[in-house]
Amino acid sequence: MGAGPGDVEYLTVKAYRLLAQAGVLVYDALVDQQLLKLVPNDCLKVYVGKRGGLPSTPQTEINQLLVKYCQQGKIVIRLKSGDPFIFGRCTSEIQALYAAGCNFEAVPGISSAIAAPMLAGIPLTDAVVSRCFAVFSAHQPDNLDWEALSRLDTLVILMGGQHLSEIIHQLIKNGKNKFTSITPIAIIRKAGTAEQQVWIGKLSTIVEQVHSVHLSPSVIVIGSVVEYARFFENM
């Protein structure tokens, strides 16, 4: 189940209904704590972390927990932030459930890749300046095709705060600033929460702009559409 980004208000109606039936809740670090109040009082809550750079429960152990409680006949909810199928590491969990003969379903959530730009006033598509956009994780920047990514109108980057300098270096190296030296960039931290922060700059200066800031969790948007955020500045 996807919890959506940040605040509990971004939860879907279906997810809200199912949480009220949960016998076991297995949840991640970025899930809004208010969601824990939506399950029955006797629901077993199991925290498994899954936060980049911090200790977390091994994936194999999470798989075993899901299977164990399912085989006990309980309604088990595996709650992840955003949408579980967008960098939610669901594959091994689903394979474990399938192998054990456990019935399951996937409940979509609003992904931070879509919600964070909107909450910052940035449309990901535009008839003139953004005919397409790509969403990718920069958790392992060496594995990405930066030449291809640099040619796209708009980029949405998850898990990129730790590698911001490398991201900027690769984009500039591969021609992202070929026609302009002021390609806009936005960094949205803790989107959808009361602590949301937005930094807007350009590729050539953003690293210095946020050099002393801990950027996790954040969504990075690069492209001309970032300029539209100015319409929301005073709202």
Residues annotated as part of the active site: 28, 50, 159
Residue 51 DSSP one-character state:
-
118 with 226: CB under 8 angstroms?
A: no
Amino acid identity at 181:
S
Q: Are strands 154-158 and 218-222 parallel, antiparallel or unpaired?
A: antiparallel
184 with 153: CB under 8 angstroms?
A: no
Using CA atoms, how far residue 51 sits from 58, 159, 203, in Å, is: 12, 10, 27
221 with 155: CB under 8 angstroms?
A: yes
Give every strand in the sheet of 154-158, ordered side by side: 133-137, 154-158, 218-222, 184-189, 197-202
Amino acid identity at 8:
V
For 78, phi then psi, to 5°, come to: -95, 100
Distance CA 103, CA 100 (A): 9
Q: How many CB atoms lie within 10 A of CB 70?
A: 20
Distance CA 81, CA 11 (A): 10
